[in-house]
Amino acid sequence: MQAVKRNILLNPGPATTSDSVKLSQVVPDIGPREPEFGDLMAYISVELTRLVGDPDHYTTVLFGGSGTAAVESMISSVLAEQDVVVVINNGAYGKRICEIAEAYGLHYLEFKSPSDDAIDLAALEGFIQASGRAISHLAVVHHETTTGLLNDIKAIGELCSRYRIDMIVDAMSSFAAVPIQMKEMNVRYLAASSNKNLQGMAGVSFVVAEKNKLESLKYKMPRNYYLNLYAQYKYFSEHRQMRFTPPVQTLYALKQAIEELKQEGVQERYERYVNSWTTLIHGITRLGLTYLVPDQYHGKIVTSILEPVCAAFRFQEMHDYFYSEGITIYPGKLDRLNTFRIATMGDIAYQDIETFLERLEHYLQSIGFVKREEETGDVGDKR
Ligand SMILES: *Cc1c(COP(=O)(O)O)cnc(C)c1O
């Protein structure tokens, strides 16, 4: 088969995929209710579970949909009528969880935390105590893709365990790179998707949870339909089929992507991402740009870079220039600061970041941006 043009996606997902993942979608047509396809989905479910828990006790519930579908499924499926969820908001994805809770009319309490600093655990504990209500759940984003801030879910999980709170984690952009152990970290429900660190195609999202926990949802009054976690879990465990039409070809690609992840290793994949990030940080610092989150709280997968201070700078023009060169970048997602984001996830390596940096230097020169020497300190020393 002919090679597919290779673009470098530096947006935080969907990420660059290998040719083998792309081509694995070209398969004979198949009805997704055939046992053969059920085997494929069962394999995917077990292998995804294995990354974060013991498949004897945990399982992965697959949905056709983008990552938000899995987050919405958890939030709208696991709370009983009188339950209260604390939602940690330190970026656009934490805010999205609040919006989902709002849309379903759930009892939620928003805990706001700075987008470029660690969560203050004492303040969070005080918030839980002062709420005057029995908190049943807490929802947090593991890796805030807005800024690249990595939230300490292990410490938050310990707090939740002391207060008998079920922790719900959006691990969309950390899953399959940053190590997660659900049991040790007290993660009750976790959501992720096919197209970020898994390096598959967009269109499959999933929830991982303990089978016992999923069984217990049976007694909750459903407030959703397509996204009902218990119904999706139960149907698959009884029929080895999704309830509704799955994205067939995307699942073939996901199987291939999982095999490639197993070949590479999760730890090795993360090291490759961190290598690319190191290249990125040295490069932008040399060019006179700065970035937002201090290294010790940063996931080293997505970096929020401050826009160059230069009258001729226009993000859209920079985006268009890069796009014409086969490189995709995304704007920032912060209200108070002008930033753009560079992700080092996907089937890319530090050499691709070097290519990006060459083009960036060219672009900055073309708009007459000059590095201000006094503003560039050591890498990582920006507080
Ligand atoms: C990507 C992402 C999502 C889901 O986004 P979709 O566009 O629905 O795939 C949710 N949470 C986080 C933290 C993400 O990075």
Residue ranges per domain, the chain?
22-263, 266-382
Give the residue-averaged pLDDT of 22-50: 98
Does ligand 1 come within 6 angstroms of the Cβ of 308? no
Does ligand 1 come within 6 angstroms of the Cβ of 148? no
Q: What is the pLDDT of residue 335?
A: 81
Does ligand 1 come within 6 angstroms of the Cβ of 280? no
Q: What is the pLDDT of residue 285?
A: 97
Provide the whole-model pTM: 0.96
Residue 374 has pLDDT above 60, yes or no: no
CA–centroid distance, 237 to ligand 1, in Å, is 26
Best CA proximity match to 211, nearest among 56, 45, 72, 76: 56
Output the residue whose Cα is nearest ligand 1's atom 12: 172
CA–centroid distance, 145 to ligand 1, in Å, is 8
CA–centroid distance, 286 to ligand 1, in Å, is 31
Q: From 1.20.1730.10, 2.60.40.10, 3.90.1150.10, 3.30.56.10, which CATH number describes the 266-382 domain?
A: 3.90.1150.10
Best CA proximity match to 274, nearest among 177, 360, 355: 177
Residue 336: pLDDT band (50, 70, 90) is confident
Q: What is the pLDDT of residue 359?
A: 97
Q: Which of 155-169, 176-190, 326-340, 344-358 has the lowest mean pLDDT?
A: 326-340
141, 193, 301: which to mutate for ligand 1, most atoms within 8 A of CB? 193
17 SS3 class = coil
Residue 49: pLDDT band (50, 70, 90) is very high
Identify whether the C-beta of residue 236 lies closer than 8 Å to the C-beta of residue 211: no
Identify whether the C-beta of residue 259 lies closer than 8 Å to the C-beta of residue 343: no
Q: What is the pLDDT of residue 282?
A: 98
Does ligand 1 come within 6 angstroms of the Cβ of 146? no
State which H helix or E strand residue 112 sits in: strand 107-112
The answer to whether 314 is a known ligand-binding residue is no
354-to-14, 111, 212, 286, 358 alpha-carbon distances in Å = 21, 39, 48, 12, 6
Mean pLDDT of the chain: 95
Q: What is the pLDDT of residue 383?
A: 38
Q: How far apart are CA 296 and CA 149, in angstroms?
A: 9
Q: What is the pLDDT of residue 333?
A: 84
Residue 13 has pLDDT above 50, yes or no: yes
Residue 382: pLDDT band (50, 70, 90) is very low
261-to-199, 252, 312 alpha-carbon distances in Å = 8, 14, 42
Residue 2 has pLDDT above 70, yes or no: no
10 SS3 class = coil
% of the chain surpassing 90 pLDDT:
93
Residue 84: pLDDT band (50, 70, 90) is very high
% of the chain surpassing 70 pLDDT:
97
CATH architecture assigned to 22-263: 3-Layer(aba) Sandwich (3.40)
Closest ligand 1 atom, CA of 13? 1
Q: What are phi and psi of 42, to 5 degrees?
A: -65, -40
Closest ligand 1 atom, CA of 91? 13
pLDDT per residue as tens digits for the range 176-187: 999 999 999 999
CA–centroid distance, 67 to ligand 1, in Å, is 5
Residue 351 has pLDDT above 80, yes or no: yes
Residue 379 has pLDDT above 60, yes or no: no
CA–centroid distance, 356 to ligand 1, in Å, is 24
Give the residue-averaged pLDDT of 334-360: 95
Closest ligand 1 atom, CA of 141? 13
Best CA proximity match to 73, nearest among 222, 212, 198: 222
Residue 191 has pLDDT above 80, yes or no: yes
- The tokens for 220 are 């909750």
Does ligand 1 come within 6 angstroms of the Cβ of 66? yes
Facing residues of 314 across strands?
A: none
Q: Which residue blocks in the chain are alpha helix, DSSP H?
A: 19-23, 35-50, 67-77, 92-103, 121-130, 153-162, 211-216, 229-239, 248-264, 266-287, 315-324, 350-366
Q: What is the pLDDT of residue 153?
A: 98
Residue 380 has pLDDT above 80, yes or no: no
Q: Which of 39-48, 68-77, 116-125, 333-342 has the lowest mean pLDDT?
A: 333-342
Output the residue whose Cα is nearest ligand 1's atom 6: 67
CA–centroid distance, 35 to ligand 1, in Å, is 31
Q: What is the pLDDT of residue 287?
A: 97
Residue 355 has pLDDT above 90, yes or no: yes
Identify whether the C-beta of residue 240 lies closer than 8 Å to the C-beta of residue 35: yes
